[in-house]
Amino acid sequence: MNNNRNTETAQTEPVTIKPLAGMKPGVWLTILYILIIAIIIVGAGIVPDVMSSKTVTEFRNSGKSSAVYVDGSYIGGTPCAASLDTGVHSVQYRIGDISVETFEVDVPSRIFFNWLFPRKYVVERNSDIGTDAYLALTREFFLDVAAYSSIREYDNVYRYPPLFTNYANTVKDLGYNLQFLPFAAQFITTREMLSDAKTAFALLGIDYDFSPIEEAVKNGSFRSESLPVYDSPRGLDTLETDDFTVLGYIYGDGANEYSLAETPVNETMYAFFVRENPKWSRDNKKNLIAEGLVDDMYLEGVTLTTTRLSYKAVTNISYYAARAFCEWLSKKTETEVFLPSELQWTAASCSTDHTFLKTKTAIGANGVGPAGMIGGVWEFTSTYYVPNDNAVNSSIQEFLSMNNFVVNPIVKGGSYLSNVDTISSFTIGVASPDICTDTYGFRIAWK
């Protein structure tokens, strides 16, 4: 069988790309492809940077190595880098806890492939330690040394930081007079501190005889009591205010004459102080704690009233609070009012026969001398505890006071909770300047 089929082929016209704006298709398509690729590249290079708005910023310091804080947050030690939002930031360079420079920096944007190839914005400074920062650094150093002097043993958990060497490395090229540094050596109480100090002194080229301190560290023979001092009262004295009168006894003579209060400062006296100085009120305790002036026990259990007389010694106050009271009373009476020194307190105590006071209430002794000096409350003195200062080196005390380096003060007299057999006029205690306890109080002196 013969099958004949007619096959027809579909006819199609070829597709042609028409010219565009007078350009042949090969030309304008090439341009289009280039534009598309360019848009992709630019988008990939710019959009991520625009969306992140961050720039890697490096901080350098050609002066001393410094800690860098940006907007209050720690970034690192110079040189260091951080990814920061573009715009203005507050920057602080610090050495230890001391600010050496504060400035603003305007971080620019980096918007072309910065996400892939970060380009740093470099902040170069020449921040060094000026006089104010140097004094603040020295104060911090002394306070740290004094604090660590109370620790007599270290181990693998509690390690001693090289306080002397760190300080020496920081200040060695600044050109300041470092002849006061031997004062800091008087706080050495351990082998670790001693070795650290020797390294620091050698680094600074300071010649110092450590042998007495080496002996004290070896034997653990640090200052533990007051020197015997005797002085009889030469008469009565009073310190008058519109609100209360303080009775005292006169000691010393000439330029060394002073008067010591018959009894410790009582709750009524302190109530008048708080009334005129609301900063020191119980309601402001949170701020006082933040300033490091008191602890959480400040004025706990203390009744402050100006409407009736209380003979009870004010307690749960700090050394800082006692000093503030003296400053207030000095202005109020136009008289120099102060905490007695250890020697002044001891001389007055040795001049009087004492009965151990088993309460916090000291009643006047009817003109025969200060009352309640043994027992009652531990009383703050203006003398700082220096472990190797067995002779009460006045130059160390003057240095600390002149520079307002507040280290641990000496307290005297024991408290109503003390063992009567362990407390005498020569007994010393050591207190943190911000501590507040039910067994600490103070009496004033004036001249």
* Identity of the residue numbered 440: Y
CB 309 within 8 A of CB 270: no
pLDDT at 18: 75
d(CA 359, CA 255) in angstroms, rounded, equals: 36
d(CA 370, CA 379) in angstroms, rounded, equals: 13
pLDDT at 392: 44
> How many residues belong to the chain?
447
CB 95 within 8 A of CB 66: yes
pLDDT at 42: 66
pLDDT at 2: 53
What is this structure's pTM?
Answer: 0.74
- Centroid of chain to Cα 174: 23
Please list the alpha-helical segments (H only) found in 334-410: 342-350, 394-402
pLDDT at 391: 46
pLDDT at 302: 93
Per-10-residue mean pLDDT, the chain, length 447 = 56 69 76 82 62 79 84 91 90 84 85 59 85 84 90 86 91 82 91 95 91 89 78 88 92 89 94 96 95 95 89 94 97 96 91 82 72 92 88 72 89 91 90 94 96
d(CA 126, CA 86) in angstroms, rounded, equals: 23
Q: Count the Cβ atoms, other than its own, within 10 Å of residue 275.
A: 13
pLDDT at 94: 87
Residues 6 or more apart whose CB falls under 8 angstroms from that of 273 comprise 280, 324, 325, 328, 329
CB 400 within 8 A of CB 384: yes
